[in-house]
Structure 1
Amino acid sequence: MDRLIAMDLDNTLLTSAKTISPASLEALQMLKADGVIIGLVSGRSMWSLQQDISRWQVEPLVDFLLGSNGGVFCDLKTGEEINRYRLESNKAKAVLDFYQNVDWVARCIVDGATRYTEHLDEAMRKDSEIYHELPEETDLYAYLRKHDTVDKILLMFDAARLTEMERSAKQIPVEGISSYSSAANLYEFSHKLRNKGTGLQYAAEHFHVPMENVWAFGDATNDLAMIEAAGHGICMANGYETVKQKADDVTRYTNDEDGLARYVQAHMLEAGA
């Protein structure tokens, strides 16, 4: 029976140096040989993901991509691509308004492969480069007036204030949005149905794989929806405690110790069964 695996990138499949280790590459090759449908899932834009898999030279091994936290699906074999559940501009504006006078937050709009920001400093350039986004300084409110929807609102801040950000995000008086931390210094706001869980369900339906045969690996709160949706939701040993508590299992090793590759070998591959 067909099986499907969906893997988050940062701090899950990738090492802290943003590379795919030899052991992880071998695990992907063995999964492919075993007939498992392979997908990579990320908050990155689809354009960024496509650049990444080309740079890592794993294109022949990957069947699908889920970008923008599950909002954009691409079947790499057929080229089919769909962008689902974009955030209405009036709700995006409400989020920007809420943080307008918060001096420790840098507000951004991410749309496609571009990160629009009010102040393009060196820190913003470097962070955009990490996620292969094209930074552009612009008037965010003017941008929203010209567009009915956007992919998401992104807030950047000092990682030491993550708990403070989590508390403040719960106070935004806007219905129909979801918010989550995608990195220690990043918080995202999107359409309530634009998440890795709904994206994973779409991918499973596309490939005709029942959810009980789906494996999902992640580490952060933006991975929680797909970990809960999958028949086998696995959190990394280096993952957030809140995610570990809701996962079906936790890897024994971290992303820098080939935790995903070791788990796949022990629990998914026929040779490791």
Structure 2
Amino acid sequence: MLSRNEVIMDSNEVTLVVSDLDGTLLDSQKNVGQRTKEAIEDLKNKGILFGIASGRPVESIIKLSKKWGIDDSISFIIGMNGGAMYDNRLHQKEEFANMDGELLLSVIKFIRQGVDKHFGKVHFEVMDGNTRYVEWSSPYTLENADLYGEAEVIKDLDSYMPGRRFDKLIIRSDPQDQPALIEYSKGYQSPMFNAFATANDLFEYVDPQINKGYGLQKICDHYGLDLAHVVAFGDEANDVEMLSLAGNGVAMKNATLPARMASNIILDHTNDEEGEARYIQDEILANAKGELDTPYVKMG
């Protein structure tokens, strides 16, 4: 492994491991490799909590974790980029923020004005749990929704959104158009939202207090654990706060520059090479103490 700084903690002090999904835990085909499955199961057997932090809804991750065969190894889920958390053992969910529909609609109206002038066609996905409210669907968007365990529902957003609250807004574009979309979006700023790319074709608007670091802090408070004993894995800009906050922030070899800069460890292997599993096995499990007696505290 390549490290920019000294490793902050000794491996036998790790009490919690949290991982991003796309580009980190999952390979390019959106699957979990066998070595990764074994590594996170071994974490559970050592009493080390393992969880997922994603921009996806909690409900989608619960469904997909069963498909990937890792549901029994997951202790918690941080969903919606930190806007929700779920205790997989108590089956309890807590949400921290959502957004005014009229505010998100004002963003949609602004972005519409840039279509065909600054960038090509975009797909607005207004998220409420694992339901995507959209203006139109295509075979690709429907297949993508199914892949992520989400339902895509066509609505007249102009009439449906006012008076309602939603988790976030996703704008899906052609990867070649995303730089122009991001540049254009700077023309409409508000203290009521944060906007950032989560993939080369996804640009999201979320509550300004919400990020994966916020969600990680909530999880540590929930279990009564110290952030200094957390290892976090990520690869994208929306992982930065989580990687910075954890005792050890670990960036994949395929990570973007912001994720690398926020981490104190940069792996020699990509997600397709199961870099996370290699680190867990070689650096965490190889030096871990026996099982931990971790208390589980109810949310609320």
Structure 1 stretches (4+) deviating beyond 6 angstroms? Answer: none
The structural deviation recorded for 1:267 is 2.2
Unpaired runs of 5+ in structure 2? 1-12, 290-300
Matching of residue 106 in structure 1 with residue 95 in structure 2 = no
Q: Compare CA radii of gyration and give the structure with the larger one.
A: 2
Kindly report which structure 2 residues correspond to 1:228-243, keeping only aligned pairs within 5 A, or say none: 228-243=244-259
Bigger mean CA deviation after superposition, 237-246 or 120-129: 120-129
Cα deviation 1:100-143 (Å, max 9, x = unaligned): 22322222211111111111122322332232210111111222
Match of 1:201 in 2: 217
2:24 to 12, 19, 36: 12
Instruction: Tell whether the 8 Å contact from 1:216 to 1:233 is kept in structure 2 after alignment.
Output: yes
SS of residue matched to 2:90: coil
Q: What is the identity, as a one-letter code, of the residue corresponding to 2:267?
A: T
Match of 2:80 in 1: 68
For 2:101 and 2:89, the matched residues in 1 are separated by 33
Provide TM-score, normalisation by structure 1: 0.94
Bigger mean CA deviation after superposition, 1-10 or 250-259: 1-10
Match of 1:80 in 2: 92
Provide TM-score, normalisation by structure 2: 0.86
Aligned residues: 272
Q: What is the identity, as a one-letter code, of the residue corresponding to 2:230?
A: V
The structural deviation recorded for 1:178 is 1.2
Match of 2:145 in 1: 128
The structural deviation recorded for 1:93 is 2.0
Cα deviation 1:52-83 (Å, max 9, x = unaligned): 11112222211101111121111011112111
Identity within the alignment, %: 28
Cα deviation 1:143-196 (Å, max 9, x = unaligned): 21241x210011010011222233233332211211121221111101011221
Unpaired runs of 5+ in structure 1? none
Instruction: Tell whether the 8 Å contact from 1:93 to 1:141 is kept in structure 2 after alignment.
Output: yes
Query: Per the alignment, do residues 260 and 97 of structure 1 end up closer, same or farther by CA in structure 2, a change over 3 Å counting?
Result: same
For 1:88 and 1:230, the matched residues in 2 are separated by 31
For 2:140 and 2:133, the matched residues in 1 are separated by 14
Instruction: Tell whether the 8 Å contact from 1:41 to 1:67 is kept in structure 2 after alignment.
Output: yes
Match of 2:63 in 1: 51
For 1:54 and 1:101, the matched residues in 2 are separated by 41
Instruction: Tell whether the 8 Å contact from 1:23 to 1:258 is kept in structure 2 after alignment.
Output: yes
Match of 2:295 in 1: none
Matching of residue 32 in structure 1 with residue 74 in structure 2 = no
1:185 to 181, 196, 201: 201
SS of residue matched to 2:276: helix
Match of 2:293 in 1: none
